[in-house]
Amino acid sequence: MKKVVSVSLGSSKRNHTVQVELLGENFSISRIGTDGDINKAIKMIQQLDGNVDAIGLGGIDVYLYACHNRYVIKDGMRMLKAAKVTPVVDGSGLKNTLERQAVAYLAEQGLLTRGSKVLMVSAMDRFGMAEAMDNIGCQLILGDAMFALGIPFPIYSLEKLQRIASKIMPIISRLPFTMIYPTGSKQDKQSRLRATKFASYYHHAEVIAGDYHFIHKYLPEKLNGQMIITNTITAADVELLMERGAAMLVTTTPEFQGRTFGTNVMEAVFLALLGKRWDEATPEDYAALLQQLNWQPKIIKLKKEINAQVQESPAP
């Protein structure tokens, strides 16, 4: 049995282990949160090194992208280099292939069209998705400065994002990652102030896309029928989105036993299937595996589920 472990800076409350069969191979897939403790994460990676088939890095990026520019995240690289034998990946390669395909699929279904108003909470984290949406003519609001830095500065084009990133990322990339991304218990917390800070951008959008922890960080008390495109979703997250008024949830990674894992986990699975290190794997390798697996986005109509629950509830 192949073993894949995601070592995450996220909350340990979201830990999960499943056993699945993929392309004739049996897998044990685990996600282990270190509650924002990067030193604990590095130690865990060192202990796993050589004892598992692949390691995913969760709750952190090694690389962020703005158009043709790639930026190295200092803390992410520290975690990557902690393993000397086992292949390690952060999920960015799979984001660049799987999530482009997911956008194309949603466009074929008529769920994304030219003019769709999309709040992309961080395009640098999911540049493949952002670029694919831009290519079909979506109206993008890029929230990188808002959601990572808390600055009310929406960006309206990928070209402007590239210009801004070229000026600030050499500094931002050296900061502790916990300063720009919710880790540990921060992933579970939400204040009323946060829920109102960027509410107008949520309400203006028809689609809210990107990292779920960023989406949750400033999620308003009430939505007005938006479609959410994300992953790393638990049953509790689905319930929260229903309560807040989202109309539809689209997850880009497959569901295993009621849980969708992050792209870092699934890319680690791909490396285990390929028997390659991260720098050896190509987009063509990933595309071939995706074709064999025939993964498609999972679409959940949340409002219908709410209505069904209401209708099925017994009268008081």
Question: Per-residue pLDDT for 305 more than 70?
Answer: no
Mean pLDDT of 63-77: 96
Q: Are residues 285 and 302 in the same domain?
A: no
Q: Are residues 84 and 218 in the same domain?
A: no
Question: Per-residue pLDDT for 244 more than 50?
Answer: yes
Question: Per-residue pLDDT for 159 more than 90?
Answer: yes
Task: Name every residue whose Cβ is closer than 8 Å to that of residue 187 and which is 6 or more positions away in sequence.
Answer: 10, 11, 14, 59, 213, 216
Q: Are residues 212 and 148 in the same domain?
A: yes
Name the band, by pLDDT with cuts 50, 70 and 90, for residue 227.
Answer: very high
CB 204 within 8 A of CB 224: no
Mean pLDDT of 291-299: 93
In angstroms, rounded to a whole number, what is the distance separating the alpha carbons of residues 271 and 265? Answer: 10
Look up residue 119 and give its two tokens: 């709040």
Q: Are residues 104 and 84 in the same domain?
A: no
Q: Are residues 65 and 180 in the same domain?
A: no
In angstroms, rounded to a whole number, what is the distance separating the alpha carbons of residues 299 and 293? Answer: 18
Mean residue pLDDT across the chain:
92
Give the DSSP H or E segment for 229. Answer: strand 227-230
Q: How far apart are the first and last CA of the chain?
A: 51
Q: Are residues 305 and 202 in the same domain?
A: yes
29 CB-side CA count, 13 A: 27
Transcribe 244-313 into DSSP letters: HT--EEEESS-EETTEEPPHHHHHHHHHHHHT--GGG--HHHHHHHHHHHT---EEEEHHHHHHHHHHHS
Look up residue 169 and give its two tokens: 């990322």
Q: Would you call 211 helix, strand, or coil by DSSP?
A: coil
Q: Is the dihedral of CA 290, 65, 228, 237 positive or negative?
A: positive
Task: Report pLDDT digits (tens) over 104-143.
Answer: 999 999 999 999 999 999 999 999 999 999 999 999 999 9
Q: Are residues 106 and 197 in the same domain?
A: yes
Mean pLDDT of 192-207: 90
Q: Are residues 247 and 278 in the same domain?
A: no
Q: Are residues 39 and 124 in the same domain?
A: no
Name the band, by pLDDT with cuts 50, 70 and 90, for residue 204.
Answer: very high
Q: What is the pLDDT of residue 37?
A: 95
In angstroms, rounded to a whole number, what is the distance separating the alpha carbons of residues 157 and 140? Answer: 7
For 118, counting Cβ atoms within 10 Å of its Cβ (0-12 exposed, 13-18 middle, 19+ buried), the class is buried
Q: What is the pLDDT of residue 315?
A: 30
Q: What is the pLDDT of residue 191?
A: 63
Question: Per-residue pLDDT for 27 more than 80?
Answer: yes
Question: Per-residue pLDDT for 306 more than 80?
Answer: no
Mean pLDDT of 218-231: 96
Residue in the block written with tokens 């902690």: 82
Size of the chain, expressed as the number of residues it contains: 316
Q: Are residues 270 and 231 in the same domain?
A: no
Q: Are residues 248 and 265 in the same domain?
A: no
Q: What is the pLDDT of residue 261?
A: 86
Q: What is the pLDDT of residue 316?
A: 29
CATH number at residue 121: 3.40.50
Q: Are residues 131 and 167 in the same domain?
A: yes
Report percent pLDDT > 70 for the chain: 95
In angstroms, rounded to a whole number, what is the distance separating the alpha carbons of residues 11 and 188? Answer: 8
Name the band, by pLDDT with cuts 50, 70 and 90, for residue 79.
Answer: very high
Question: Per-residue pLDDT for 220 more than 80?
Answer: yes
Name the band, by pLDDT with cuts 50, 70 and 90, for residue 309.
Answer: very low
Mean pLDDT of 270-283: 95
Instruction: Please give the tally of structural domains in the chain.
Output: 2
In angstroms, rounded to a whole number, what is the distance separating the alpha carbons of residues 165 and 64? Answer: 10
Name the band, by pLDDT with cuts 50, 70 and 90, for residue 289.
Answer: very high
- For residue 19, the cross-strand partners are 28
Question: Per-residue pLDDT for 10 more than 50?
Answer: yes
Q: What is the pLDDT of residue 311?
A: 32
In angstroms, rounded to a whole number, what is the distance separating the alpha carbons of residues 117 and 130? Answer: 12
Give the structural domain span for 238: 95-254+298-312
**41: nearest Cα among 7, 86, 74, 91:** 7
Question: Per-residue pLDDT for 308 more than 80?
Answer: no
